[in-house]
Structures are given as structure tokens and as C-alpha cells.
Amino acid sequence: MLSAQDNEIMTRVGPGTPMGEVMRQYWLPMMYSWELEADGEPKRVRLLGENLIAFRASGGKTGLVAEACPHRGASLFFGRNEEDGLRCVYHGWKFDVSGACVDMPSEPAESNFKNKVHVRAYATGDQGGIIWAYMGPNQENPPAMPEFEWCNIPEEQVHHQYKGIYSCNYMQALEGDIDTSHLYFLHGRLEPDQPSSYGVYHPGKAPTLHLVDTDYGVYYGAARQQSVDTTYWRTTQFLFPIFTMFPATEDGVVPSHMYTPVDDNLTLHWGLRWHPSRTFDGPRQLNQRVSKIPDQHGMGPMKPARHGMPFADWWPVAELSNDFLMDREVQRTMNFTGIPTVRLQDAAVITSMGGVCDRTHEHLGTTDAMVIATRRKLIRAAKALRDEGTMPPASRNPELYRRRSCSAVLPSGVNWKDALEDWHFARTTTPPAEAIHQPAAAT
């Protein structure tokens, strides 16, 4: 369990909080690139407890500014996006993507007052089909953007799968990815001979975890006995401050999640996957379906646009008020939950804990080792930045994000870390399962 003080440090992300200041040292995913059109509709955004407006100017640059106009506080959401700037509808003051006031028609022509006025603005960057925001202190010279492999390969090798709001703190959501023991319960089918579409199955319900501390976060190998002479390994990465890579498929498709903190009680959840050398066959659209047979992985359909709310188009229909579309007959006959998708199964348990979980009442076991290690590393980073000014892990090392996860069956006794290292560090495009079974080179 955590102390109440450490739980506060870990979960609170608003301006001036220790973890909020950590988050502001990183580029955070904000929206898909296609969501903003040049001279198009501004979008309400809320990040780290701040209400903001995103827009794309005439020349294609993106802007992220405080929602309140610095004149009288009117919302810039209602502004006119025109001629490379956002013009407040109240008195016509116009701001460019840097936040500078470039026109003030309500003042006399000879006035230079506009040169003294700025709206708070944050740096943005477009990478990997996503618009990212940097809300840190060095807006004139922000750090380089993280070099995720999926941002630097052909888009045909990347599938953006789902996105939506979770009604809980970012850490509750993230902890699900680094908790391997829940997999064969929450997402499991009832019997081994049932179709795999009903859920996953493995007889080993209590994995042995092997943790590795890194300069960008933590990763682990979860070992389960596969046969007399083989071990099934599943590896998962946590990368500061909100990124995870949970076990890849044996043919090398790497799935990843991102958990953008909207505020203390809301999280924007993203899911994507990529292959380092192969294109995806068929469509790569967002997965927004649900079915009685729980073989889908998305967040289900979204509600009609929630006007007046941040991220208005990304609020899922499935929520606590409708029990996440739970079907008790499916739960009785098919899988543990009766909830139609893996993402919604996760959403049900993490939101059931409340907006911010009270971790002072937990009782953690041996398979919670990764959760414990990740919490400790985040809390240490927040305290080190607050007390000593130490920059948090990888915040100035974009190359450290070139990482992967995997799943593989290895001969028992093989050093898993050494055997999987080239794949984990993106030094090879051959998945471990294929590499292990390749014939030895002729001598």
C-alpha cells in the first residue's frame, strides 16, 4: 500500500503539483493530426488540469492556447480561425499560434497595446499521425520529441486502434498494463477448449516476475511454465511518464498504450500497434465496435459530441451508468466478465475504484511487483524534481523510446533478458519466435 501523501504525489497532475511538474517535462499526445483542419473548427482540450483550445492556422501550423481570452476571459473556442490566427468573437482580438496578439481592432490604430498582450500558449508538434503538446517551462526551446519506433516507420506499418476517455486517474489506467496476473482472469475465457474469441487462456495463473530497472522506466519478464523444457515469457515496458508496451504477438506486432492525464479524475486513453518491417493487411481504422462474442479490442462507439466538454468526440457509450454493457449470460457461459471488449473490461474495473483510488487500503502480493516498482519510480522522480531540480528519466533523451515488448517461448534455463535484448532495443526486425526457430547458419 501507499501512504496517503505518496498517493497524492503520484496522482495529482494540476499546475504546481509535483507530478504535474514531472508531466510538463515531456511531450504528451493530444489529438490525431486529422482532427484539426487549417482554418477549421477550434477544439476544446483539457490537459493536466488546464482548459485549452487547439487550432490549426491557415499555413498548417498547430496552436494550443489557454481557453480564456486575456482581455475579458471569454472562451476562445467561439473564436474565428482565420488568416493565420484565432480571433476572439467578443472584441476581435486575434492571436497567432505563439500566443502573440497580432490584431486589436477595438483599440485606436496608433495604439501599441497589442504588442504587450499574449495568451498563454504551449508548443505543439506533429508526429506519427498525432499532435503532441509540450507544457513545460522552456517553451522557446522545448526538448526533442520522443523517438518511438512507430513514429518513424511507414504509416502502413502502424494501426491506430482506439481512443477515448476513461473516467479515472491516469495511474489507475496505466497500472492495468503493467499487471500481468489479471490477464487470464479479467480477459480470460472460462474453458481452454472454448474459442479464443471468448478470451485468453493459460493454465499458469501465477507468473514469476523478473524486473529490470532502466533509465527510461521499468520493464519485466513474466515467466510461465509452458512444457517440461520450455518457458512462456511475456514482457511489458513502462516508459516515463505515461507510456506502456504490453506483450507483442509472437509474429512481432507490438501493442502500445498512452494515458494522457486530462486532470486528476479523467484520462485520455490511446491504443496503437505496429510492426517494425511488415504492413498491416486490410483496414487500419479505429475499432469502435462491440459484439456479444467478446472478440473486439476497442472502446466501443462514442457518444454524440458532448458540446461544452473537452475532447467532445471521445466519450464512450459504455460507462459505469450502463455497467459497461455487461451481459450476465456471457459471463456465465463465455468469459469472466460478460463485458464485450478487453478495453471495456479494463475500464469497468479501473473506474469502479473511483476517480482517484485510495491506495492506503490495498493488500499487494508478489505478482504486484511491477506495479510497486513503477509507483516508486514515479514518486521518486516527482520528489527529485521538486526538491533537487533533477530532470525525470528520459525527458531529455528521446532515443530511449526506441523500445519494444514481446511474447516468446524460450528453452527453459535460457537467459530471457539476453535472448530478447535485440528485439527489446529495436536492433532487429526478426521477432524472437522466428529467430529462435531459424536453422543454424552453415559453417
Contact residues for 284 (Cβ-Cβ < 8 A; gap 6+): 156, 158, 159, 160
Q: What type of residue sits at position 419?
A: A
Are the CB atoms for 367 and 205 separated by under 8 Å? no
Phi, psi values for residue 228, rounded to 5°: -60, -35
Contact residues for 35 (Cβ-Cβ < 8 A; gap 6+): 43, 131, 313
The pLDDT, as a whole number, for residue 443 is 31
Give which of 312, 285, 311 is closest to 298, Cα–Cα. 285
Give the DSSP letter of residue 235.
E
Q: What are the residues facing 316 on neighbouring strands?
A: 302
* C-alpha 32, offset from chain centre: 13
In order of 138, 201, 211, 324, the CA distances from 8 in angstroms are 26, 36, 25, 28
The pLDDT, as a whole number, for residue 359 is 96
The cell numbers describing 20, all together, are 504535474
Spatial distance between the Cα atoms of 443 and 439, rounded to a whole number of angstroms: 12
Which CATH number is 27-134 given? 2.102.10.10
pTM (two decimals): 0.94
Domain limits, CATH 2.102.10.10, in the chain:
27-134
Are the CB atoms for 2 and 359 separated by under 8 Å? yes
Give the DSSP letter of residue 189.
B
Spatial distance between the Cα atoms of 413 and 427, rounded to a whole number of angstroms: 23
In b/e form, how buried is each residue of 28-39, taking b as 16+ CB within 10 angstroms?
bbbbbeebbeee
Tens-of-pLDDT digits for all 443 residues of the chain? 799 999 999 999 999 999 999 999 999 999 999 999 999 999 999 999 999 999 999 999 999 999 999 999 999 999 999 999 999 999 999 999 999 999 999 999 999 999 999 999 999 999 999 999 999 999 999 999 999 999 999 999 999 999 999 999 999 999 999 987 787 788 888 888 888 888 888 776 678 899 999 999 999 999 988 899 999 999 999 999 999 999 999 899 999 999 999 999 999 999 999 999 999 988 888 888 787 665 567 899 999 999 999 999 999 999 999 999 999 999 999 888 999 988 999 999 999 999 999 999 999 988 899 999 999 999 999 999 999 999 999 999 999 999 999 999 999 999 999 999 999 999 999 998 776 655 443 33
Are the CB atoms for 289 and 296 separated by under 8 Å? yes
Phi, psi values for residue 123, rounded to 5°: -65, 145
What is the H or E stretch that residue 347 is in?
Answer: helix 342-351
In order of 227, 418, 421, the CA distances from 415 in angstroms are 17, 6, 10
The cell numbers describing 408, all together, are 516468446
Other C-beta atoms closer than 10 Å to the C-beta of 322 total: 9
Q: How many residues does the chain have?
A: 443
Contact residues for 103 (Cβ-Cβ < 8 A; gap 6+): 85, 87, 92, 93, 94, 114
Q: What count of Cα atoms within 13 Å lies in the side-chain half-sphere of residue 169?
A: 21
The pLDDT, as a whole number, for residue 292 is 65
